[in-house]
Amino acid sequence: MNYQSLTRPFFRALVMALVLLPATTAIAATNVVVSLKPLELLVRAVATEDTTVTTLVGPGANPHNYSMKPSQRRALADANAIFWVGPEMETFLARLLTSGEFHARSHAFMPDEVADNHSKEGHHHQHDSHNGESANSGSDPHVWLDPATSLDMAREIHSVLKALPGADRAALEANLVAFERSVAVAEKEIRQQLEPARALSLFTYHDAFSHFARHYDLPLAGVLTLNPELSPGARHIAEVQDRLRKATRPCLMTERPFDQSSWKPITGDIAVTFSDWDPLASDIEADSAGYLAFQRSVAEAVLGCL
């Protein structure tokens, strides 16, 4: 009997088993789905490099009435973690992410009870605010514009990711610490850069700027429309126009994806400076430094008013 002929198939099988073993025992990469680009920037600031991030609302799309593609629905099903602002911002996700299928994996930074409180505050502000604050600042869901709030959001992302199976906790911790330090440095620089802008009277098309303005002590003099989905009423237009005429160095922070047909009927021939900005960070590169670049881009838009 040939001993080698008997052992050769065994060794071939053993080699094949060793080749296939890493593929069957490797830990799968982390899949994260976020609703908006700014949330992607926060995830990438904290997450490890092997994390796959899918963003639902693309450039130019409206997060209030977005319609998901089938591939994005599948991405939600495959996600280890899902991050969104909350039902006041991404209305298209409210029913889906509070259902049994996704509830355990979804994390809202403004959950229902918070959104409800903000909504009530916003209703009050619409009728009673006559100072320099936004007429509806209590309901502004663009919370990521405030770097202090975004740090809290990054810490929550870190907490969720480190609890996942196979998480590299040391790397996640190092990334969070580095992000905290870099935000502190950038925040100080931006605050100094914005000092001349405090002499302006800033207006925005809709209520998306209040968190940034409040954090950096910028004078937010008014909002052109309380709800971009609806045409503003004649009374509100008259009030805004009166504020624009009386304001010192008024500047309108125009926003993508809205165009001048949205605000031109309101500003008319009033002497107003315009500066474009994007609260959804559409043009910002999605990497670990993206959130800092986003903050600087908003500051540059404000300085464009000068």
Using one digit for the tens of pLDDT, what is the confidence trace for 146-159? 999 999 999 999 99
Q: Which of 3, 77, 1, 93 is nearest to 39 (CA)?
A: 93
| pLDDT at res. 124 | 36
Domain 197-303 has CATH 3.40.50.1980: yes
| pLDDT at res. 115 | 40
CA distance 225 to 216: 23
Question: Is the distance from CB of 155 to CB of 43 less than 8 angstroms?
Answer: no
| pLDDT at res. 258 | 76
Question: Is the distance from CB of 118 to CB of 138 less than 8 angstroms?
Answer: yes
| pLDDT at res. 101 | 86
Per DSSP, the chain holds a count of helices (H) and strands (E) of 11, 8
Q: Which of 198, 212, 177 is nearest to 294 (CA)?
A: 212
CATH 3.40.50.1980 positions along the chain are 31-130+141-187, 197-303
Residues of the chain with pLDDT under 50: 3, 6, 14-15, 17-19, 21-26, 113-137
| pLDDT at res. 24 | 39
Using one digit for the tens of pLDDT, what is the confidence trace for 7-50? 565 555 544 544 454 443 345 589 999 999 999 999 999 999 99
What is the token pair recorded at 253? 């922070």
| pLDDT at res. 76 | 95
| pLDDT at res. 28 | 59
| pLDDT at res. 122 | 38
The CATH number given to 31-130+141-187 is 3.40.50.1980
What is the token pair recorded at 177? 């610490």
| pLDDT at res. 235 | 87
| pLDDT at res. 116 | 44
| pLDDT at res. 117 | 40
Please enumerate in sequence order all residues whose Cβ is within 8 A of that of 82, keeping only pairs 6 or more positions apart, or say none: 32, 33, 34, 76, 97, 102, 105, 106, 107
Secondary structure of residue 12 in the 3-state scheme: helix
